[in-house]
Amino acid sequence: MKIFFTRNGIRTLIQLSILGVSIYWLTKVLVNPELFVDFEQYCPMGGIQSLFTFLQNGALACSMSGMQLILGIALLVCVLLFSKLFCSYICPLGTISEWFGKLGRKLKIQFTINDSWDKVFRIFKYALLSLTFYYTLSSNELFCKTYDPFFALVSRFGYDVIPWAATIAIAILGIGSTIIPMFWCRYVCPLGAISNLFKHIYVVIALVVIYLVIYLLNIEVSWIYLLIILFVAGYFFEAILPERSKSIQMMKITRNTDSCIDCNLCSKKCPQGIDVASLEVVNHADCNLCGDCVGSCPVSNTLLINNKNSFRWMPILALAVFVLGGIYLGTKLELPTVDMKWGSQEEVAQSKFIEYSGLKNVKCYGSSMSFVGQMKRVPGVTGAATYVNSHTVKVWYDTTATSSAVVKKALFSPVKVHIKDGIDSLKYAIIDVKVYNFFDQMDVFYLDQIVRQDGNILSFESSFGEPVNIKLYADYNINLDSLKNSIERKYVSLKSGDKEYQQSINFKVADINRTKRYVRGIDLKRGMFLSYKRTCNNYKSYPKDQIVSFEMTFDTYPRNEQMMQYVINSVATKDTAVVGMVTYYKAQPTLRVYIVKDKTDPQKVADLITEEKLTITYDNGIVEKIDNPYTFK
Ligand code: SF4
Ligand code: SF4
């Protein structure tokens, strides 16, 4: 037991516990596709990126919350005052890197990189850090999720992951760290780059002060330039002066040269390859205060922290304070993903707000902006905020211009969903259903899946009410009892990739009635079509005879007319001669595109409309790519 404590066994125990918990949940996630474990919630790297998106764009990145932000700040303060304790005790990738390195040494397949190549390789993590910050700040989506090995595995290579990038990252983590000591941490990890930058805090402070002076002189310089200069400086100091980090770190490894017997064990044990036995004080940027060197020293009171035996437990204590304190503060701090006010000062001053929870489709920055766009179109609404972690929204409204009932109704998006075509001349039944616990687009999706799987519903549409009104168009001899049971089922089968899983649902049917009316198949097809109409690029500034149009026929019945706003956003930004789009149902669902005569070519515009990915440009300049939901004949 004594050896366990003296040989740094506590650190191994903490690493084992964190890796064990991660592997346990990872296994559960892999065998049960329905399970979602939000590891992201505790990722300080996401928090640090969010801190910058908050400063730059006034919005948290992606699905980040106050928790990640606080943990990110806690990590930076911890690096500043103590050391990279997150790397040495908590980070599962750091642990894997270290243990794979030990395996490589045992198998005798490990080699060390010479000093010159070491300096060159260190540039990779700063390049990756720059890319990560650039894309995160410009899209408000966490770019690190595209390649992070840990996120790729726990999300089963989910939506945000770029499979080839994550596969390369996993290979680098496994193979790289086995054959070259701490390859991932030294040369790849962007969090390691930020941490090392904070080990040269005086440089960071000097550059930030220069930036602030420039800012106060009213010279507009983007945050991006400050970040680039910081990262270049970080690389320079790490590569050129790795052993002279100028930090305000309160704890350092110290060697008593009088009692040291020069056995070199400490240097051999250091996972970072630091030659501890040649130093009096370890100032190396790679030192993360893991304590392995201290635990290996055979002479008592020789290798210590701050020359004091009692400081041995300080790293663990400091870590506990920062992690537990960070989690506690994180639960208290609720930051909005998006918080915008667009009313005048007077309107905002007399505004009240309503809060609504459970909007499952408010789940990221993109859906938050879409929600804000929806609210901006409501007269009397002066602002909106979203909290994606709890799927909650707040909407401010001018009490002299509208009421909470009107705003609540505006939160509801009525839909028309056409599932399949009937026979044009046949009569179909109209069923009125009132449903509780049905509010947002995810509920529409679940109902869509239920009736699709049952097979005897052709279409449905919803309208606001408490409970919500749903009109179903069904086969004429449908059984209402089995339809009610079907809607009230506890689970609906969904697919994620090739895997099927059960999603719990909670619809409650308050009333179900078959109306005396009926509808013919052909009228249903026409009636369910939601037309879309929008002009752009100064449509009104052109004389009528300067505008021509062409038509494209949808390949399938378009299920979500809301997505047309993304098509027009993408196409009209790339080609300013596109001035409007209209969808309507003629003999088939049709898109008519208006363009300025002789300023563009219909084929070129058609190519933009049928691109696999649409490029969305938001009002605040953020650009995002999404899959094109439509195909055309
Ligand atoms: S010098 Fe000691 S404390 Fe620092 S990384 Fe190496 S073994 Fe860990
Ligand atoms: S392990 Fe201890 S005694 Fe051996 S070289 Fe290092 S500090 Fe000196």
Ligand 1 within 6 A of CB of 315: no
Across the range 416-421, mean pLDDT stands at: 85
Which of 35-39, 158-162, 346-350, 578-582 ranks highest by mean pLDDT?
578-582
| Assembly ipTM | 0.95
Highest mean pLDDT out of 252-261, 340-349, 557-566: 252-261
CA-nearest residue for atom 8, ligand 1, is 290
Q: How far is the CA of 297 from the centre of ligand 2 (A)?
A: 5
Predicted confidence band at 305 (pLDDT cuts at 50, 70, 90)? very high
Token pair of 488 as six digits: 């009230």
Q: Which domains does the chain have, with CATH numbers?
A: 2-314 (no CATH), 338-411 (3.30.70.100), 416-527 (3.30.70), 533-627 (3.30.70)
Q: Is 191 exposed, middle or buried (0-12, 13-18, 19+ CB in 10 A)?
A: buried
pLDDT at site 550: 95
Q: Ligand 1 mean position to 24 CA, how many Å?
A: 29
How many other C-beta atoms can be found within 10 angstroms of the C-beta atom of residue 278?
A: 12
**What is the 232 CA–ligand 1 centroid distance (Å)?**
26
**Looking at residue 7, what is its pLDDT?**
64
Q: What is the pLDDT of residues 101-146, one digit of tens each?
A: 999 999 989 888 888 899 899 999 999 988 888 888 777 777 888 8
Q: Taking each helix axis from N to C terminus, what angle separates 66-81 and 190-198, rounded to the nearest 10 degrees? A: 50
Amino acid in the structure at residue 292: D
CB 546 within 8 A of CB 596: yes
Determine the atom of ligand 1 nearest the C-alpha atom of 288. 5
Q: What is the rounded CA–CA span in Å between residue 201 and residue 211? A: 15
Q: Are 181 and 273 in contact (CB under 8 A)?
A: yes
User: What b/e string do you get for 463-488 counting C-beta neighbours within 10 Å, with b at 16 or more?
Assistant: eeeebbbbbbbbeeebeeeebeebbe
pLDDT of residue 482: 92
Q: Residues 6 or more apart from 233 whose CB is under 8 A from it?
A: 197, 200, 203, 204, 207
Q: Which CA distances in Å does 104 have to 87, 113, 180, 313, 455?
A: 20, 14, 8, 30, 58
Q: Under a CB-based contact definition with an 8 Å cutoff, are residues 74 and 44 in contact?
A: yes
Give residue 459's pLDDT: 93
What CA–CA distance (Å, rounded) separates 289 from 276? Answer: 12
Q: Which atom of ligand 1 is nearest to the CA of 276?
A: 1
The CA-atom distances, in angstroms, between 561 and each of 141, 545, 568, 590 are: 25, 29, 12, 12
**Residue among 290, 302, 312 whose CB has most ligand 1 atoms within 8 A, to mutate:** 290
Instruction: Identify the H or E element spanning 369.
Output: helix 365-376
Q: Is the Cβ atom of 289 under 6 angstroms away from ligand 1?
A: yes
Question: What's the rounded Cα separation, in Å, for the pair 245 and 237?
Answer: 8
- What number is the average pLDDT over the span 488-500? 78
427 or 5, greater pLDDT: 427
Atom number, ligand 1, closest to the C-alpha of residue 270: 7
DSSP 127-145: HHHHHHHHHHHHHSS-GGG
Question: Which amino acid makes up residue 295?
Answer: G
Q: Which residue has the tokens 């995002």?
A: 624
pLDDT band at 498 (very low <50, low <70, confident <90, very high): low
Which ligand has the minimum distance to the alpha carbon of residue 252? 1
User: Is 92 a pocket residue for ligand 1 (Cβ < 6 Å)?
Assistant: no
- Are the C-beta atoms of residues 80 and 160 closer than 8 Å to each other? no
Query: Over the stretch 48-61, which tens digit does the pLDDT of each residue have?
Result: 777 777 776 666 66
Give the DSSP per-residue string, 425-461: TSEEEEEEEEEES--SHHHHHHHHHHHHHH--EEEEE
Report the distance separating Cα 585 and Cα 508, nearest Å: 34
Is the CB of residue 293 below 6 angstroms from any atom belonging to ligand 1? yes
Is the separation of the CB atoms in 174 and 100 below 8 Å? yes
Position 6 confidence tier, pLDDT thresholds 50, 70, 90: low
Task: Say yes or no to pLDDT of 555 above 70.
Answer: yes
Among 41, 93, 94, which residue's Cα sits nearest to residue 72?
41
Q: Of the candidates 39, 42, 43, 48, which has an alpha carbon nearest to the alpha carbon of residue 194? A: 48
Q: Do residues 146 and 166 make contact, with C-beta atoms less than 8 angstroms apart?
A: yes
Nearest to 360 by CA among 386, 335, 334: 386
Lowest mean pLDDT among 30-44, 133-147, 186-200, 311-325: 30-44
CA-based torsion, 412, 570, 568, 146: positive or negative:
negative
Confidence of residue 330 (pLDDT cuts 50, 70, 90): confident
**What is the mean predicted confidence (pLDDT) over 16-40?**
75
Of the listed ranges 514-528, 530-544, 553-567, the one predicted with least confidence? 553-567
277 C-beta closer than 6 A to ligand 2: yes
Candidates 447, 448, 372; CA nearest to 410 is 372
Measured CA to CA, the distance from residue 181 to residue 87 in angstroms comes to: 15
End-to-end CA distance of the chain: 74
At position 109, the amino acid (one-letter code) is: I
Q: Report the pLDDT value the prediction gives residue 146, as an integer from 0 to 100.
A: 85
What sign for the dihedral angle of Cα 357, 359, 365, 369? negative
Of the CA atoms within 13 Å of residue 72, those in its CB half-sphere come to 24
Mapped onto helix, strand or coil, the DSSP state of residue 509 is strand
In this predicted model, what pLDDT tens digit does every residue of 7-16 receive, in sequence order?
A: 678 899 999 9
Looking at residue 239, its pLDDT comes to 83
- Identify the band that residue 244 occupies on the pLDDT scale cut at 50, 70 and 90: low
DSSP string, 34-69: T----GGGG-HHHHHHHHHHHHHHSS--TT--HHHH
Report whether pLDDT(407) > 90: no
Q: What is the mean pLDDT of the chain?
A: 85
